[in-house]
Amino acid sequence: MNRFLCSIPQPGKRLLLLTACLSSLGGMPALAQQAGTDSAPTFSRDIAPILQRACQQCHNPDGIGPMPLLTYDQVRPFAALIQDRVSKRMMPPWHVDPDVGIQRFKNDMSLSHEEIALISQWVDGGAPQGNPADMPPALELPSGGAWRLEKSMGPPDMIVKSTPYDVVANGQDQWWTPRIKFEGLDTERWLRAAEFKPSFPLGKKVVHHGHATLIPEGESKRYVSLARYGVGKSWEMFPEGTGLRVPPKGEVRWSLHYFPAGTDVADNVVEVGLWFYPEDTIPEFESKGEVMFRVDGLNGGTRAQDLVIPPNSYKALQGSHVLQSPAVIHSYRPHMHMRGKVMTMEAIYPDGHKKVLSQVNNYNHNWQLTYIFEDDARPLLPKGTVLQFTSFYDNTSDNPLNPDPNQWVVFGQRGVDEMSHAWLGITYLNEEQYAQAVKERRVAEEVLGSGGTP
């Protein structure tokens, strides 16, 4: 069995994989439950805080992780497996190149070199529990069916539901594209945040990713991106003073990608929660939400005519987009499939200088992570900037996720096909807004030494 599979959060197979993973690691060592010296790391004092910050949001009884990691008794049997996965940076899932581009993110769950070394030292020292009195207070984790944003924002102002769909126990990728009327608003409102919530518990096991877009009443081409979802990414919150304009009526078009998990899931419904600014509030900046920037098919032909990967080969694609107005980028989310390995986002500024903004160099299709920039590190780009995206694919046996390196791979919706685009959380600015933003960024850098990236 490929050892890389131990990190794949594939629904319905996690517990089976764990047994095989432990076997592939040569079995668990006999862990001495000893009290370490003052200098030796212990679970209670040193390891538990790391797990709380980076692991327990998924590894809890209601989370998508295959086993809870809340207590010493839960963690101890998996100590060697944890050491192996964190030392290879397979867990926690965070695929940004740590040495290239902007490194300041609001949702950074990656472990530092020091944290990884501490975990290894703890395991090599017998994984002692230490003094239980040193344990940090337990986290207040939301239940599996709760809205993740409710703790900070209260319940949603509005909930939109898909129509039911029956997911079979075993089979290929499945798509569900229902349309529903969007009603309930008396007037146009400004969206502050949105959350995409598959049903709990079975819905979360079978929904791989999805979109909910709103077509305003009387229109056919314009759409509003209400919410987008992927495993590892469920919500979007706009920066302070920024919102998404939502018309009062229209039609919500769903695009839901299901993947069977070994259990029938009948009448599955997906919900989207919406949080609005107060009715009398108009935010200063209007965001477009997550916007697709294509890397393939930009030379005038049919989309993806250039996305053809021969058997046992590599492929690189590059796509460029010229900004017709200034913009600020809030978040970056690459999208490829099983052969995708790297996606780089660069800015070529009007004066000719070039800068790598972000690079995902360890892409994993099983996770659809959004990388949310810190406010004073968000790329602030002038009109005329060229956003250049480069995708790299590995269709060889060296790619652990590759289902069959002997196949030709072309564009398609299935996980075994390929795609090449990036979702950017982006807000376009006018020249006055851009000039003011640049001024504020420079002041912040001078006063705080923030190191933001204009």
| Residues facing residue 190 across a β-bridge | 245
Residue 163 banded pLDDT, cuts 50, 70, 90: very high
Chain CA centroid to CA 303, Å: 25
Contact between 280 and 384 under an 8 Å Cβ cutoff? The reply is no
Note the pLDDT of residue 14. Answer: 39
153-283 and 288-448 share one CATH topology? Answer: yes
Residue 448 banded pLDDT, cuts 50, 70, 90: low
* Distance, CA of 345 to CA of 339 (rounded, Å): 18
Note the pLDDT of residue 415. Answer: 87
Q: Which residue has the higher pLDDT, 232 or 434?
A: 434
Note the pLDDT of residue 196. Answer: 95
Beta strands in 67-131 (DSSP E): 96-101
The contacts of residue 380 (CB under 8 Å, 6+ apart) are 326, 328, 434, 437, 438, 441, 452, 453, 454
What are the phi and psi torsion angles at 110 (to 5°)?
A: -70, 160
Note the pLDDT of residue 172. Answer: 86
* Distance, CA of 80 to CA of 61 (rounded, Å): 21
Note the pLDDT of residue 3. Answer: 31
Tell me: pLDDT of 450 over 70.
Answer: no
Tell me: pLDDT of 9 over 60.
Answer: no
Note the pLDDT of residue 165. Answer: 96
Tell me: pLDDT of 7 over 70.
Answer: no
Which listed CATH number (1.25.40.20, 2.60.120.230, 3.40.50.1970, 3.40.630.10) goes with 288-448?
A: 2.60.120.230
Contact between 309 and 315 under an 8 Å Cβ cutoff? The reply is yes
Both tokens of 22, joined, read 């432990």
Residue 445 banded pLDDT, cuts 50, 70, 90: confident
Note the pLDDT of residue 1. Answer: 31
Note the pLDDT of residue 38. Answer: 63
**Whole-model pTM?**
0.86
Contact between 265 and 205 under an 8 Å Cβ cutoff? The reply is yes
* Least trusted range by pLDDT, from 11-20, 94-103, 184-193: 11-20
Note the pLDDT of residue 304. Answer: 78
Note the pLDDT of residue 184. Answer: 82
Note the pLDDT of residue 221. Answer: 80
* Least trusted range by pLDDT, from 22-31, 33-42, 48-57, 175-184: 22-31
**Cα dist. 120→79, 87, 132, 421 in Å?**
9, 8, 20, 37
| Residues facing residue 275 across a β-bridge | 193
Note the pLDDT of residue 158. Answer: 97
* Distance, CA of 25 to CA of 437 (rounded, Å): 52
Residue 305 banded pLDDT, cuts 50, 70, 90: confident
Task: State the residue for tokens 């004066």.
Answer: 351
Note the pLDDT of residue 303. Answer: 76
Tell me: pLDDT of 15 over 60.
Answer: no
Both tokens of 241, joined, read 């003073």
Tell me: pLDDT of 117 over 80.
Answer: yes
Neighbours of 240 (CB within 10 A): 10
* Distance, CA of 345 to CA of 49 (rounded, Å): 33
Note the pLDDT of residue 2. Answer: 34
Tell me: pLDDT of 418 over 70.
Answer: yes
pLDDT digits over 55-88, tens only?
999 999 998 889 999 999 999 999 999 999 999 9
Judging by beta carbons within 10 Å of its beta carbon (0-12, 13-18, 19+), is residue 329 exposed, middle or buried? buried
* Distance, CA of 324 to CA of 304 (rounded, Å): 24
Contact between 252 and 180 under an 8 Å Cβ cutoff? The reply is yes
- As a whole number, the mean pLDDT across the chain is 89
Average pLDDT of span 301-320: 90
pLDDT digits over 236-283, tens only?
999 999 999 999 999 999 999 998 989 999 999 999 999 999 999 999
Segments making up each domain of the chain, as ranges:
3-134, 153-283, 288-448
Which listed CATH number (3.30.300.30, 2.60.120.230, 1.10.357.10, 3.60.15.10) goes with 153-283?
A: 2.60.120.230
* Least trusted range by pLDDT, from 144-153, 216-225, 233-242, 325-334: 216-225
Q: Which residue has the higher pLDDT, 359 or 453?
A: 359
**Cα dist. 443→102, 259, 357, 439, 454 in Å?**
19, 49, 21, 6, 12
Average pLDDT of span 369-392: 97
